[in-house]
Each structure stands twice: as C-alpha cells, then as structure tokens.
Structure 1
Amino acid sequence: MTAVDGRIWHDRAGRAHRERGVPPRSDEPTMRRVTGPLADAWHRTPQRRADLARDALSRPNPHVVPDPGAPGSSLWTWVVEAPAAAAVLLWTNPVFDHTDPALAELERLEGSALWTITLRLPSALRASYRIAVWEHEEEPPWRTAEGRRPVLLAAMAAGAVDSRGTDIVIGSRGEASSVAAGPDAPVEPWRTTAPSSASGSLLEEITLPDDERAWLYTPADATSPTPLLLLFDGDVWRRELPPILDRTIAAGILPPLHVAMLDAKDVEHRWEHLGVPGGQVDVLIDRLLPLVRGRPLVSTRPADTIISGQSLGGIAALWTLALSDGDVGHAIAQSPSLWRFDVADALATASGWSSLELQAGTFEGDMLADAAALAVSLRADARTAGRRVALSPFEAGHDWAVWRANLVGSLIALLG
C-alpha cells in the first residue's frame, strides 16, 4: 500500500482528512566528492605508498579532518581493502545520488588493493552508511537498476556493515548499517557512561487484539510512578533502546521511565496503518495506553506522557497528540511525513497537550521546510497560546542513527 492522492480518511471524531499523495522528492541533496588527502599523496609521492597504506589502514573509517577551504565542513575519507573487487560502492544515508551512483564508487589506488573515496560533508553530520564490495564479472546491480527506489535498494542490498567502522545502527528492515559522526555532531549521552552490567530492567512482549503487539520496557530503579514514552515502529526500537536507557538511567542522566513500543509489522501494514488519522494511532490510544497505565509504577498523568515517532511514525505522533483528547501531553515528531496530510488545524483545535518538538534534517529536502512551516503556523495560532512548539533542525538525513541520538537528547531536555 502507498499513499493515494485525494483519498479521504476519517478520524475517531468523524472529521475528514484528505491525503495529499506521494512525497514531492524535490531539493534532494547532492554528493560533494573531492580528491582526499590520501589519494592526493598517493599520486604525488609514489615512494611513500607503503607508509600511506599502513597509516590509512591503522585508522577506522571514516577518517575525518577539517576542510580548510570550507568552514563548518570536513573531509570524510573511507578506505576499503578489497584485492578481488571489480567495484566498491559507498551508500551513505544523506547524500547518495540515485541518478548517478558512479559518484559513490570508490577509486582503486594504483598498484594496491586499497579503494578510497573522500566526501565534503558537514562537521556536525551523523550518518549511517554501508559498503558494497562487488567481486563478480557482471555489472553491479546499482548500475543496472532504474528509478530512484530500485537504485537505492540495489545499493543498500549489495552493501554490508563496514568492518573498519566504529558503530552500527539497526534500521527498519532489521538490517545493520555502520554509523559515522563528524567532530561537531551532537553528543550521544549514553556514550559517556559505562555499560550497565546488571540493569534489572525488563523488556516484555504485549499481545493486543487484532494481531497487534507491542513491547514494554520497565526500568530497574523505579520506586514511584514514572513518565511514559510511547513509540511507533517498536520492532526497531526494541532492539537498541533498552540498553541505551539502562545506561542513561543508571548514570542519572535520565530519570526512570517506562517505554511502550508498538509494532509496525511489515511495509504494507505500515503504509496503510501508520501515519494516518486512525489505524495505529487508535490502537495506541484505545488499547496500548490504557493497558500500560494499568501497570504498577506507570504515571497516568498526561503531563508525564510523551509520544514519539519517525517518518510515518512522526506524523502518527502528531495525530496522537491531536486526537488523544488531552491524554498525551508531549510529542517529539522526528522527520514527520507532513507531505501526506495537513495536521495544523487538528493540532491547533486539540486541547490538553503541552509541548511539541518537530525535528528534521538539513539533508531531508522538503521535510525540514514542511516542519518549519508547521511550527510557524502553530505558533501564530491563538488556539495554541501558552504551549511550547519547537523546531529542531539537525545536520543529517532520514536516518535511524540520528533519530536514536536526538530522541535521547530530547528526552533528557524534557525529563532530565
């Protein structure tokens, strides 16, 4: 199922909302490839190649250095050792150009098994990426695919986690990607704490009617009712969020909180039931929220209840805020798919909510502009007087690695 232009949806109060259709995909970022320090030295000083190779392989990927000609930017260099490769490709979340995938193919350094590429990227960027090493005679699939989505999927499917990378993130399909961050990228708070050896937290699966399910994270150290975070795409979050919360709660960076994560199921179910004024929004409001609030040590106060989601889940978080009749106090909408519906009036009409944070990346094309326009509209609307509406732009693309970092940062700002 995909978005349908003009389709009419009715929310739980019977109000009609017209679907806008598919995303416009305008103003997509371009890849800025440059000759990096390694390739430059390799070509200029062939007598130093053994030392250059040894030095390059002694560092993890990517090697990030300041770009003297572009303040705020850095030169990001990847090096891959692949003696049998016919081609090597770097798929990067924010800047992969599906119209010219050759831009992302690494250069083989003369007389070696090393392949390299250097990109000019913001120093504050955090991005996921995958490396594809192609060792077959036929053309790589990213060269033969046609169309935006087929090319992107071919590049991602051919790629794998970088063995020389330093971090990974799990995405929507359960696949792992490597993660890189520039020197000015926002700090991930859990990186500054020691891993919790025996947290005592609990992650349990909850079965809901109509073949819906969720996972509930229960913190170890709760002695009084805690705030409650509600998340869409729980099948992704349940993999990585619990150990992150264990560390941040144990370190006192976050107070204990419960987290209920609703499963998005497969791609077709997600498109039909997530991001619309019904579907999983109703499941969360009518079934999951009352069930979790019935557990010991879960606060029942709307002021302690936060909804968050990403992409389709981001606009679903906004629908939840608008349709919960004041039962949810706060929303953190990350890269919300505002191209699908106009939610401004529904949010302004709704009573009871206290704060809304809209997040979107500078490499997300129209998404940042749409989020900024919604923030301006809500701030100017007399019906939202006294409520906090924040816009948080960030240097990144449509990326789980970034949503992970920013969600924890926003929770600290809201609860810490």
Structure 2
Amino acid sequence: MTQAMPQLPLQSVPLSPEIVRGVAELEPSARGLVPHRLPAWARAQVPDPQLLMAEGQPSGARIAFRSTATVIELDVLATKRLYPGLPPRPDGVLDLVVDGRLVDRARVTEGDTITIDLATGTSETTRGPVATVRFEGLDPRDKNVELWLPHLETTELVDLRTDARVEALGDRSRRTWVHHGSSISQGSGADRPTSTWPALAARLGGVDLVNLGLAGSALLDPAVGRVLRDTSADLLSIKMGINVVNADLMRRRAFGPALHGLLDTVRDGHPDIPLLVVTPLHCAIHEDTPGPGAFDLEALAEGRLGFRATGDPADVAAGRLTLGVVREEMARVVAQRSATDPHLHLLDGLSLYGADDAIRLPLPDGLHPDDATHRLVGERFAAHAFAPAGPFADRS
C-alpha cells in the first residue's frame, strides 16, 4: 500500500518587487499591498478618476518565482464595481502559469464593492472579505511559476503562502516589451489575464510584458510619456487613437503635435530601441463620426452594454477627430520622423482587426473586442512584430 506524502506546512512569502512583475509600485494599504502600474508622481499629475481606476487594475502584472511548491495560496482583496442599470461586470480571474503553460485558473468572487450611480456620479463602498485562492497538486519539480493578476479588477495583495521555498526568477535574458494603449490593450473583453492580446503576443514573441494599457486613458498625457521614457525596455509600442476620439479630447491641430511630443519624450529615454506606433483597430461607430462616445440607451433598455458616437460628421472639416483622421495623422507623423529615426515603425491597426473581421467577429458592445478577437489581434501582432524581418525581431 502506497502511503500519501505528508503535506508540508505553508509558509508566508514576502510580496516584494523582486517577485511582483509588471508594476511600477506596491503601495501599502490597511490590509495589504496595492499594485500600481503608474508611479505616485504620475498619478498626482493626472488625478482623473478613470485613469486612477485603470492604472490600479493590474493588467499584465504577475507574481513570478521559481519553486518546487505543490501548494500555493494567495490572499487578495478585490474591489468590484457595480453600475445600477448596467450588466454586472465579471469577477476577476487569476491565471496560474507554470513554465510558460497555463495550468489552472481561479475566480475571485469576494471583496469590497463600489456601487456607482452614473446619473449622479455618487458612489457607495461596501466592505467585503479577503479571498483566498488556492492551487494544489502541482508537480514537485523545480519550476517557474507565474500568478497573473486580474486585468480589470483592483486587487490588493495580502499574503502569499507556499509549501516550499521560493526564489525570484534570476533569468532576465528575455527582452522586455513595454506597451501603452487603451482599454483594448488593458484587456477589456478578454476572459482572463493571459488572454488579453498583449499577453498573447508577448507569449508568442517570447518576451516579458509590461502592460501600460489604460482603459479610457490613452490620451497623450505628458506624465504617461515620462513613465514610458523611464521604464526599462528593450521594445516599446504605443497604440493610440480610440480614446482621443471617444473622449473628444482634442482637434486635429493639437493631435499631431501632441503625438510628436509623446514620441520625443519616449526617445529621450530610449533613443534607439525599436518603437512601434500602432493606429486604431476598426470601430464602426467612430470610423467617420467624431466623439464624444456615450452609452447606447436602446441597448441598455434591453439589458445590454453598448456604445455610440454622438458627434457630427460634418464637423470633421473643422478639425474634429475620427478614427480615419487619426490614422492619417499618425501615418504622417511617423513618416516624417522615420527619415531620422530608423528604429521607428508604423503598424496599421486595420491589419490587426479591420472591417471584414468585424463581420465575422463583431465588437459585442460596439467598442471592445471579445476573447476570440483578442486572440486574433494578439496572433496577428506577434506574426508582424516578431517575424524575422519584423520591427521586434531578435537580432542579437
């Protein structure tokens, strides 16, 4: 008769920056550590509630270590947001990746809840419990372990426990790819943190991801440009346009110079690494109609989330932005700069997801892709960027 191996006691593992990757800071809170993708000085310069919510949702962040552990427990405190009248948002998911392979996932169903009244802007917070996520039955061999944190839900880290020693991953030979974009880059519509299109592309390209996709907040903010400048990177990409249009933030006169300014700032810190500028994916509501964007009231009445464009196409001649105008300006700016910057590249977002793709894989809410479309975009991005002759090809 075979005797079961005795279970070793779990030991607490310090949640240090050495094992929490893809974040700028870990801010101590009353109950744990809050991962931030933007540093405190940048958050102070742009104290916009949408930006602060987005950067505090740890898309692309993961707890990474090497261990022989067979049991892993993580205590987390999620912050869930409820919008009366809108469909409930899905609970956050943690993905367990071992030696580069997704082996398990866990949904976080408990936590604090913020109920937000969109009509008045008021909110009410209800305190909830810390949740424990447990993964067990892992292979006892020495292995690389990654716990990918929820990409669309604020998640405080409270305690990590394992039944074996943990070491920070010492192999930093893989290149680091820093990507900045909108909610699509953050992962809106993806089912889990490892199925966002940047996470998929990073895995296919064999690189480490720092995801600075910021929902509703890819707006050419100077502070974000300085964060990109100061973040260690071997590869860098900027996907711009949809937020500038649906926020109706600026006109054509301002957009081109602002993009120049962002690229100038990035090049101050990364003068010669590959820099890929990506234009917007196809989005029918904003292709020829300016913002601002708004909720689709008819869809809400049917219990569905939807968006629409409220601008007047006649105003484009006066400088209002559409996705078509944005693509023209981005191509113009990159063409001008490429004459003196051989490492600057342009990728047409329509080659990642175009009008024909929208027939087969429509955007469920008119704005954000679903999980299948994230996979399509991630695979196409990787096939272009990491190809032998692509802008992110490893030529070492």
**Structures share a fold, TM > 0.5?**
no
Q: Which has the larger radius of gyration?
A: 1
> What's the TM-score bracket when you normalise by the shorter of the two chains?
0.3 to 0.5
**TM-score, length-scaled by structure 1:** 0.32
